[in-house]
Structures are given as structure tokens and as C-alpha cells.
């Protein structure tokens, strides 16, 4: 598709040089808050997931597997439509910060879909994936399940309440494990791994500036930031 990035060998890119930065992490990690602040700091375009536009999401949290396939496909098509909007070269000139990575989508599908549903999903995903641009840099936010649950409770989205107890809490734990495995093996782009358990990247200026400084200095394909670095 014209204007979209073609597959390429990953090259380390610091924040100022990156045309597309993807912020990732499990539910409650702080992806959107960091994406907003980083986009404003860099003067970049902001690309956000739209969970409230997915009519199946609340039903999935309430009833589980019955709505899993519809939820996943809705997100999949939503995300590819958002990336199509980035196909015009002028939208890349100032850079873009997104609070999601297209490549992570199957991670959720493998946790929630039956074998037959997953086969169907993966066929559709494989068809759409070439249309999504590869990021120049991924920021992966890590935090323990207990921290994610506390943040989920604070933001008080009704459909997320189930993630703090019982089956929902176990799903969140499985999601954290899946994210860690995914990024342990991810080689499509440079990854900046941030342990944000004790970092307030949205509201603490010193923490945010440390992240920006480390991103600016990044030269390797995989680097780390911990609270001990403050």
C-alpha cells in the first residue's frame, strides 16, 4: 500500500529520530498517559486506541469467551484503519506516538480464543499485517499485577472492574506473562523496556525527563530503565 513502511531490518532509533514510536504494556501500565505526554514533548502526532468505540469490549469483560472473537476482530480492524490514516507521508514528517503496537494484537487473541476461532483470526491478521507500518522504537512499560490493578481501580472504567478479582485477575496475570514473553523474543524494532512500578511518567517531571534522556541516548536494540536509575 503506498506510503506505508515496508518490512526492514530493525535499526536502533532514539526518540527524536523515530518517525513512529509505539508505547506498549499490559492494561493499566500507563500507555496512553505516556503517549500523550511524549507526543506533546516531541511535537508529534498522537495515535490512540479507541476502546470505547469497541461495542463488544464491555460484553467481553462481563461474559468472557462468548464475545472474545468479535472483540478481537473489532480491535484488529480498528487498528489497521488507524494506521491507514498514517499512510500519507506528511503525517510522518513530525513523527507519531501511538499507545499501541499492531504486532501485539495476536497476544490477546491467543489468550481468549478457541482453536478454531484463533485459526480464523490468524488468517485475517496475516492478511492485514503487511498494511501496518513497523515502529522505529517501542517503549514497553512493565509493572507487577498488583500495581496494574491499583491503577485500573483508580481510573474507574466500569468494564475493567472485573480485572481486579477472580477470573479477571487471573486473566490480567496471564496477560502480563504473555507481554513479557512477547517482548523477550520481539526483534522487529528496538525496544526500550521501562520498569514503571515506581516511576510516575505522567506527572513526575524528573521521571519523564529521565525517560526522554535515556531514549535520546539509546543506541542498542534493547535497553532498560528502572527506578534505581533515578
Residue partners of 206: CB distance under 8 A and separation at least 6:
230
pTM as predicted: 0.87
Q: What is the dihedral of CA 25, 138, 80, 61, to 10 degrees?
A: 0
> Which pLDDT belongs to residue 16?
52
Q: Is the per-residue pLDDT at 126 higher than 70?
A: yes
pLDDT tens digits for range 15-52: 556 789 999 999 999 999 999 999 999 999 999 999 98
Domains of the chain: 15-229 (3.40.50.300)
pLDDT tens digits for range 108-117: 999 999 999 9
Amino acid at each position: 500500500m503506498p506510503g506505508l513502511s515496508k518490512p526492514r531490518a530493525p535499526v536502533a532509533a532514539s526518540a527524536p529520530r523515530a518517525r513512529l514510536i509505539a508505547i506498549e504494556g499490559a492494561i493499566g501500565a500507563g500507555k496512553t498517559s505516556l503517549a500523550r505526554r511524549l507526543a506533546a514533548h516531541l511535537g508529534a502526532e498522537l495515535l490512540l486506541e479507541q476502546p470505547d468505540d469497541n461495542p463488544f469490549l464491555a460484553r467481553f469483560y462481563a461474559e468472557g469467551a462468548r464475545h472474545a472473537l468479535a472483540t478481537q476482530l473489532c480491535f484488529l480492524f480498528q487498528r489497521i484503519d488507524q494506521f491507514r490514516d498514517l499512510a500519507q507521508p506528511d503525517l510522518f514528517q513530525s513523527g507519531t506516538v501511538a499507545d499501541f503496537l499492531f504486532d501485539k494484537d495476536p497476544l490477546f487473541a491467543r489468550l481468549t480464543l478457541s482453536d478454531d476461532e484463533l485459526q480464523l483470526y490468524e488468517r485475517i491478521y496475516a492478511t492485514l499485517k503487511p498494511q501496518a507500518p513497523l515502529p522505529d522504537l517501542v517503549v514497553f512499560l512493565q509493572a507487577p499485577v498488583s500495581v496494574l490493578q491499583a491503577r485500573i481501580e483508580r481510573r474507574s472504567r466500569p468494564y475493567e472492574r472485573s480485572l481486579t478479582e477472580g477470573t479477571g485477575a487471573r486473566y490480567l496475570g496471564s496477560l502480563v506473562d504473555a507481554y513479557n514473553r512477547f517482548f523477550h523474543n520481539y526483534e522487529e524494532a528496538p525496544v526500550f523496556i521501562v520498569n514503571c512500578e515506581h516511576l510516575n511518567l505522567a506527572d513526575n517531571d524528573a521521571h519523564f525527563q529521565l525517560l526522554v534522556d535515556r531514549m535520546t541516548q539509546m543506541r542498542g536494540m534493547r535497553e532498560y530503565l528502572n527506578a534505581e536509575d533515578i
